[in-house]
Structure 1
Amino acid sequence: MHSQQPRTKKAKIESRRVPNLRENNEDVVLNHIKNHPNGNIKLATVLPCEQITKDILNKHMLDDGIPLVISGCLEGWKQNEIRLDLEWLAETYPNVILSGSPRDCTTGFDLQNWTMKRFYNYLTDVQLVKTKNRDVQRYGKSLYGKDLFCPKEWKSFVFDHLHHEIREQVREKGRCDLLGDLPLELQPENLMIYIGMEGTFTPGHRDIAGSLGHNLMIKSYPPKNSSTHRDTYAIWHMIRTADRDAAQEYWKKHGGSLHEDDFCLPFQSLISAPFDVYVVIQRYGDFVFVPPLSPHQVINYGGINIKFSWNTISTATVGLSLTEIETYRTHHKSPVYRIKATIYHALKKRIEEIQRGERRRETMGDMQHLLPLMEDIVRREELECQGGEFSQENMRSTSTKREKRQKKEEKTEKREKKEEKRQKREKKKEERGVKRRVAEEKDPIEPHTVACDLCLCDIFNRFYQCEECGTEVDICLDCIAAGASCDPRHLNKLVMRESIEGDRIYKIVKEGREAYETLVAHFRAMFALDMLGEVWNKTIRAPKVNVDGRTFLITGGNSGIGKETARQIAIMNPKKIYITARNKERGEKAIQELVDNTKFNAFHLIEMDLNSLRSVDHAATSLKDEKIDVLILSEFQSNYLGHHLFLEKMSSNLRAASTPQQKSRVVCLTSIAHLKGTQKGLDAVTSGQQVSFDQYCNTKLLCMMLVKYYKEKLGLDVCTYGVQPGLVNTDPSIPRNPIVRQCMRDLESGAATSVFVATNPGAEGKSGEYWTHMKPHRPNPLVLNQSVVDKYINSHLPLIAPYLTKS
């Protein structure tokens, strides 16, 4: 929501650029949406504060690029220590000069030399309809307090009281904000407050340099003729990130520009837009999240409101920021944020963390984003490289004088070292045990303060200076490549400069690669240890509960984990247990062994081969009239499509058995290996047998996605669970490495988690989750993205569709 440049000229904005408040108010917007439910005007998603999670936030902001609103963020806040209101501002900071504020929304220009006290007097007199105030007489209700300084007291209070799930993710200059990695003198001050009222607005624009926008209304005053805060609100018109180019063309078609921050598109024009427009009606306590590069405009209604606003740049969005500054260059706009310097210092900080032994998965993800961007910046700055790979032998200084100076410094250093050794020999006794102080040359903090005088873009390292014009004219490499210069006659007088020596940048890139490889090797080793079965907690037992009257169906119940699962459930007094087996004779033998062991006689055999969709279809058809309370997909080595078809065919059986008091359940065995699954490998999974570990990982990832998919599809009628049994010794007769055998669980422990989620009442509220050691754990991040889950599960539906259309 931050404006780009202050306006100081005194020229009038055309009246059509000022929004018509009557055609944009809440009643008009809501009536239009009610009368046109399939139109392009939509209400943005609003979630209560207690429901927000990092995954939901990332899905809206990053994956889908659509706005999100969190309501009730200020409920329960105790404001005894600090007041979030105008009176406190005027009392505490009365003489603070408001830089480039307030803005006259009638003319579009920023007023100068206003103090906080003067602006407070103006606002209170407007609110009370006192016309004796000269500012009120002159400006009416058109002054908007934009980009006002944020008191440090407010900053610490608000961030300390945000919801714990998102506090660190949205904190300004926190762990997830790369702007906080810059040296203090380079960090931009982008935490602002906005004070508006009816008649004020922010024209259509995109937030600075592709950053993530955050806006929280922390105070609202009822209008003059009202006693409720609900009559004070702000209406946001927001366009998703993917439609930003179409929005720019649409603004241009109507005589405005999203890059100039000077045009508020009328609501009637937005109705006819060729893209969706998301409407947010922001009131007290509402937290609005603005996706990167999302065009938006804001119109205030009712009484005075105060908004708390800031921007952040994350590793997931900094690539967009790097692209956006190229757009700034073409429009001759200052990028405000030094994105290249941000990437450089963020990478340095994470390299230092890894070198100190701080190894976090978040750091590895950051490195995956930052390292390629840094290498691209270096290439664009024309550092020497061969075949896309940097080589120290190819790193050359751009100045002959510098090379001579370096040689001279090396000779001086050698002489000093020689003299130092001589002095040590002469004063060996006196200096024994005393540490000699040697001056160390420290890398100075790079200023990164150079900008191109032609296109205003940020210059990271290399640039040209004109000897004729002196050092006052700096020109970026892009302008030189385009043939631009301070003067065509001075082209031969241009000299290349560097703010950072090439060797130092090469060192950062090289260290970055080494640090990333170290981190990857570390987590591969940790994953290998996890695969060995969490050695020190390998024995677990599921508690016994009474499952009287329930019917169970267990795939692969003739051997291994499936058979052990059937044995444990059989002693809990079920109604009947169906088990499936590929081979009828082996299945019958397994049932006889189970009956002898448990004295339970209601076992039934279903012949089914999960690697044959025809066999799966036949088995499901034979059970079409049977109510199934619990379906356990435990044939661990089987592929995904058989389970998918079987679960789809059995959905009606599960729903038929489910009751509000006792919901049906689906348990699907997966593996810790699903954490290694990737989007790239998901499409390669077919109904055949696994031939590699990567395929196995992706199969188990799809099994976990199946759990998430059917949680949404079956709704509240059926609970679904993904279970990781661990490294289980399913056949003790097989010779194994002694170390591996020591790490393996017995069969009873391997089946414990499956039995627990299938029978225990305490698992009912944990549907759709990934379980191990009888506790829910965090799955592969892809499983948490519902759009990704839907995409891949639905992409495999055509493979099983022929068996779903049969009568």
Structure 2
Amino acid sequence: MPAHRTRLAFEPLSPLLDIRRVVESTPNFEFAMDITCDAIDDFPLEDFEKLVLYQVVLSGKPLVIRGFHQRLDKRIFSEKWLRAKYAKKVEEVRDLVKKKTFNFSMGHYLDNLSLLTRQVTVHNYTHKDLQRLYLKDIDCPPEWRAYLENLLPPFFFYLNEGPKAFEGPASEKTNLSEIPKTTQGDLIAPAGDLMSSLPPSMRAENLMCYVGHEGTYTPAHQEMCASLGHNIMVEASDGSLENGKPTEPGSSIWLMTETKDRRIVSEYWMSVLGHDIDIEDFFAPLHAWEIAPFKTWVVEQRPGDLILVPPLAAHQVWNRGTRTMKVAWNRTTVDTLELALLEALPHARMVCRDEQYKNKAIVYFTLERYSKLLRQAKKVDHTVVVQLWDDFKRLFNLYKSILLSESFSQKNPEKNVEYHEFQSNVTCSFCRCNIFNRFLTCPGCADALGCENDPYDVCMDCYVMGRSCACVSNLKWVEQFPWKLLTERYEAWRRLIISSDENNKDLKVQFPTFIVARGQVGKKSVAEICQEQLVRRPWNDPKKPKPVVDNTIEDAGSESEGNSRSKKRRKMRQSLTAKADDVHRCHVCLHFEVNWKLAPCSNCDQRYCYGSLFRAFEISPQEAMEKHHWLCPKCRKQCSCGACQRDPSMKPYEPNCTILGHDTSMVADPRSIETLVDFRKSNLWWLKKFGDDVHGRIQKRQREAEEAELERQKTLEDQGFSFEASPFDPPQNGNGNDENALGFDDNDGGIPVDPSLIA
């Protein structure tokens, strides 16, 4: 059996936990920065907006704003009102132990919160049979939404389109009349939430409510698509009698990280805790956070506390007391879009997580909206207009990257492309990410496995990775926007940017024509790779199915250490395939494979299978395919195979991170297969080969994070920002590798299962 990384077991927090004492006694724990909403009244709203930008977005640290409970109308923000108004409304309640959902009426759930809380005592809180029923991700009552929208500063509320009147903190010092307007009366200013740029039918509904009791929790995760998180506790039990039943005071404990530590957190979660932060199914015990090699920001959230969560900052939440009621939402900004397209979406694609926010579409529609505003603001000198121009330029660069990735080969453009008008509803059948424009579809297997009239649509990124339906090739091209329209928009927006400052000659260089931009890329686009792979990969006729992937083959980069491959089996495999012209041996794992599953070196005659490249050298299929002249690890003097390591000039590549592997069969379309890399396999064999230096890899991540932070600070200081870097506490010697101290559970099952659900 292949070896697996041991996984840390779930451990609940004690009802008697004194979080303040824990923070004061733990070196890498610190309470998050907090301010009162009354303090916001002392300054113009622009100053508060700069604080949020600096603290949460640029510094990547959480911010807590306290005191909103004094401004919330307790007539509607109460358990009594919720029961009276929505008692009969049926909601899905999540059983966190069984990992199932059950339909409860709101009234029934609220009636039993006291019972669910009393079941937890200091003596039994670790028992596996305790119920943890969480009313989460339910629609926010419209009355609450309207009240909060009028109370909170508009720039950080859900679906904000721009400055508007409100009655909350700093409202009296906000003068909308100073902001320039278009001839139609629209304010010329950036939107607080770029999701508002999408047509209403395309927007993701992410204004949600959460009602929990003692022992319910949200596992460690990052906000979807690198967006900014907002969470306000609007009500909680206070310890008094309610409906004749005793209650315990409600609050929530938050453990949060910083944006800059995201890679350290990911490596720590995988290599030490044995879980993947992208899967979002593990609540880390307190002692795992206490010895973690990064700073943990702590908040005990009480009624009226609004928490702002930085993009890509991992965090988890534990609810305490009889009842906590919260409202949460996410915002998309230019900063989050850049992080989403660069990091968050590739990670989501690996684990097949829904992309609900349609990030690429947001870029396009925001450019459309902003361009109309800016055409009437060329001569306007105002801070919000300056910010609008800056955002427009950054969005334009994102749009350029999107178009360049979708560009066909200039030497061999596709002529037969089907047009399907964009309605934002096309998602990849494998990874489930939203597809903005071009994709591949396979109508040939539409009726396979009972999927009647359901064509198999795959995004270009997945197809490059070897993901597709069993037909593998003979897929057809589809686009949702006429390509001419997209390139015309590019040129029109480019001219608009250049016209903003006709005396600045550098703008023409910074924002070249699309033809020039294509020539500057220096590598193949994702669409061009797909064109080549459609020619290389064979078509498997669904009416005459044949095996495409030999699942009996295991490469040397798997967990098996190669011990399961007998010499006799290898000789049989060789005798069957060695004589074929389109078959070659992988330089690393020594298995024979068809050529389209191998990456050929441009400098020598060596070929590497994509599985070995991915696990042993952290080279994705796209990285090898996009280069016009790809040099293999041997030619780069980095090969780590046994033969090459005998070469004294070789410096074998050591993996930088842990890959645990993802089994996507439960979420991907059932017709899906993986033809190039089995992403279920980990790279643990390669880590063990080099000593599995967990501490060394984490330290390397720390150095990279610190260097990136210093570079970021320098850049911001050059732009006029000045601030102090927060201290970073290194891991304590002797703690980082003590797996027994962590209380590891060698069972691969993870969270224990509650055997029953009380009706």
Question: Normalising by the residue count of structure 2, what TM-score does the alignment of the two structures yield?
Answer: 0.55
Contact 1:782-1:789 at 8 Å conserved across structures: no
Separation in structure 2 between the aligned mates of residue 96 and residue 225 of structure 1, nearest angstrom: 25
Deviations 1:311-369 (A, max 9, x none): 00111221001121111111222222211111111111111222355862232021121
Deviations 1:387-422 (A, max 9, x none): xxxxxxx9x7742788xxxxxxxxxxxxxxxxxxxx
Please give the residue correspondences for 1:72-151 in structure 2 after superposition, counting only pairs within 5 Å: 72-79=67-74, 83-98=76-91, 101-111=92-102, 113-123=103-113, 125-126=115-116, 142-151=132-141
Matching residue of 1:168: 155
Alignment of 1:251 with 2:251, yes or no, is no
Contact 1:783-1:789 at 8 Å conserved across structures: no
Alignment of 1:30 with 2:20, yes or no, is yes
Matching residue of 2:406: 381
Give the letter aligned to residue 109 of structure 2.
Answer: F
Q: Compared with structure 1, are the counterparts of its residues 312 and 139 closer, same or farther at alpha carbon in structure 2 (3 Å cutoff)?
A: farther
Give the letter aligned to residue 106 of structure 1.
Answer: V
Deviation at residue 246 of structure 1 after TM alignment:
1.5
**Aligned counterpart for 1:211 among listed residues 201, 209, 227:** 227
Alignment of 1:399 with 2:382, yes or no, is no
Contact 2:371-2:493 at 8 Å conserved across structures: yes
Separation in structure 1 between the aligned mates of residue 240 and residue 117 of structure 2, nearest angstrom: 6
**Aligned counterpart for 2:143 among listed residues 153, 162, 185:** 153
Contact 1:48-1:71 at 8 Å conserved across structures: yes
Contact 2:33-2:64 at 8 Å conserved across structures: yes
**Aligned counterpart for 2:351 among listed residues 318, 327, 331:** 331
Separation in structure 2 between the aligned mates of residue 204 and residue 401 of structure 1, nearest angstrom: 42
Deviations 1:728-767 (A, max 9, x none): xxxxxxxxxxxxxxxxxxxxxxxxxxxxxxxxxxxxxxxx
Matching residue of 2:253: 235
User: Please, which runs of 5 or more residues in structure 1 have no aligned partner?
Assistant: 1-13, 131-137, 387-393, 403-443, 525-678, 685-700, 706-780, 791-807
Contact 1:232-1:305 at 8 Å conserved across structures: yes
Deviations 1:288-307 (A, max 9, x none): 11000000000011221111
Matching residue of 1:518: 499
Separation in structure 2 between the aligned mates of residue 498 and residue 517 of structure 1, nearest angstrom: 29
**Aligned counterpart for 1:317 among listed residues 336, 360, 366:** 336
Give the letter aligned to residue 104 of structure 1.
Answer: D
Matching residue of 1:346: 366
Matching residue of 2:306: 287
1:21 alignment partner, SS class? coil
Separation in structure 2 between the aligned mates of residue 789 and residue 244 of structure 1, nearest angstrom: 16
**Aligned counterpart for 2:11 among listed residues 19, 26, 41:** 19
Give the letter aligned to residue 244 of structure 1.
Answer: R
Separation in structure 1 between the aligned mates of residue 439 and residue 213 of structure 2, nearest angstrom: 46
**Aligned counterpart for 2:61 among listed residues 60, 66, 73:** 66
Please give the residue correspondences for 1:241-640 in structure 2 after superposition, counting only pairs within 5 Å: 241-252=259-270, 253-323=272-342, 324-357=344-377, 360-383=385-408, 398-399=415-416, 446-470=422-446, 472-488=455-471, 490-491=472-473, 493-521=474-502
Deviation at residue 87 of structure 1 after TM alignment:
2.5
Separation in structure 1 between the aligned mates of residue 418 and residue 159 of structure 2, nearest angstrom: 43
Deviations 1:445-499 (A, max 9, x none): 73021111122222111111113124520011122223332124x51x2110111
Separation in structure 1 between the aligned mates of residue 246 and residue 105 of structure 2, nearest angstrom: 29
Separation in structure 1 between the aligned mates of residue 714 and residue 329 of structure 2, nearest angstrom: 40
1:352 alignment partner, SS class? helix
Separation in structure 1 between the aligned mates of residue 401 and residue 369 of structure 2, nearest angstrom: 19
Give the letter aligned to residue 362 of structure 2.
Answer: T
Contact 1:41-1:276 at 8 Å conserved across structures: yes
Separation in structure 2 between the aligned mates of residue 522 and residue 231 of structure 1, nearest angstrom: 63
Q: Compared with structure 1, are the counterparts of its residues 683 and 280 closer, same or farther at alpha carbon in structure 2 (3 Å cutoff)?
A: closer
Separation in structure 2 between the aligned mates of residue 353 and residue 466 of structure 1, nearest angstrom: 41
Matching residue of 1:773: none
RMSD over equivalenced CA pairs, Å: 3.6
1:289 alignment partner, SS class? strand
2:500 alignment partner, SS class? helix
* Number of residue equivalences: 458
Give the letter aligned to residue 135 of structure 2.
Answer: G
Q: Compared with structure 1, are the counterparts of its residues 224 and 88 closer, same or farther at alpha carbon in structure 2 (3 Å cutoff)?
A: closer
Contact 2:37-2:65 at 8 Å conserved across structures: yes
Deviation at residue 214 of structure 1 after TM alignment:
0.3
Contact 2:63-2:309 at 8 Å conserved across structures: yes
Separation in structure 2 between the aligned mates of residue 283 and residue 523 of structure 1, nearest angstrom: 52
Separation in structure 1 between the aligned mates of residue 364 and residue 291 of structure 2, nearest angstrom: 44
Separation in structure 1 between the aligned mates of residue 410 and residue 218 of structure 2, nearest angstrom: 46
Contact 2:55-2:63 at 8 Å conserved across structures: yes
Q: Compared with structure 1, are the counterparts of its residues 171 and 485 closer, same or farther at alpha carbon in structure 2 (3 Å cutoff)?
A: closer
Contact 2:34-2:64 at 8 Å conserved across structures: yes
Q: Compared with structure 1, are the counterparts of its residues 199 and 62 closer, same or farther at alpha carbon in structure 2 (3 Å cutoff)?
A: same
Contact 2:417-2:476 at 8 Å conserved across structures: no
Q: Compared with structure 1, are the counterparts of its residues 78 and 222 closer, same or farther at alpha carbon in structure 2 (3 Å cutoff)?
A: closer
Deviation at residue 383 of structure 1 after TM alignment:
4.7
User: Please, which runs of 5 or more residues in structure 2 have no aligned partner?
Assistant: 1-5, 41-47, 121-127, 162-190, 447-453, 506-709, 728-759
Separation in structure 2 between the aligned mates of residue 76 and residue 467 of structure 1, nearest angstrom: 57
Q: Compared with structure 1, are the counterparts of its residues 789 and 475 closer, same or farther at alpha carbon in structure 2 (3 Å cutoff)?
A: closer
Deviation at residue 207 of structure 1 after TM alignment:
0.9
Separation in structure 2 between the aligned mates of residue 50 and residue 90 of structure 1, nearest angstrom: 31
Matching residue of 2:521: none
Separation in structure 1 between the aligned mates of residue 241 and residue 56 of structure 2, nearest angstrom: 38
Give the letter aligned to residue 167 of structure 1.
Answer: P
Contact 2:237-2:250 at 8 Å conserved across structures: yes
Deviation at residue 224 of structure 1 after TM alignment:
6.3
Deviations 1:47-105 (A, max 9, x none): 122334112211111121111111112324445xx51122322322333332xx31112
Q: Compared with structure 1, are the counterparts of its residues 26 and 364 closer, same or farther at alpha carbon in structure 2 (3 Å cutoff)?
A: farther
Give the letter aligned to residue 89 of structure 1.
Answer: L
Give the letter aligned to residue 240 of structure 1.
Answer: E
Deviation at residue 143 of structure 1 after TM alignment:
0.9
Matching residue of 2:740: none
1:190 alignment partner, SS class? coil
Alignment of 1:46 with 2:66, yes or no, is no
Separation in structure 1 between the aligned mates of residue 197 and residue 293 of structure 2, nearest angstrom: 40
Give the letter aligned to residue 370 of structure 2.
Answer: R
Deviation at residue 121 of structure 1 after TM alignment:
2.6
Give the letter aligned to residue 426 of structure 2.
Answer: V
Deviations 1:528-549 (A, max 9, x none): xxxxxxxxxxxxxxxxxxxxxx
Q: Compared with structure 1, are the counterparts of its residues 91 and 397 closer, same or farther at alpha carbon in structure 2 (3 Å cutoff)?
A: farther
Larger % of helix: which?
Answer: 1
Higher relative contact order by CA 8 Å / sep ≥ 6: 1 or 2? 2
Deviations 1:184-226 (A, max 9, x none): 1110100001111211111111111100000001101124689
Q: Which has the larger radius of gyration?
A: 1
Separation in structure 2 between the aligned mates of residue 198 and residue 125 of structure 1, nearest angstrom: 10
What percent identity do the matched residue pairs reach? Answer: 27
Contact 1:235-1:281 at 8 Å conserved across structures: yes
Matching residue of 1:786: 723
Matching residue of 1:634: none
2:136 alignment partner, SS class? strand
Deviation at residue 263 of structure 1 after TM alignment:
0.8
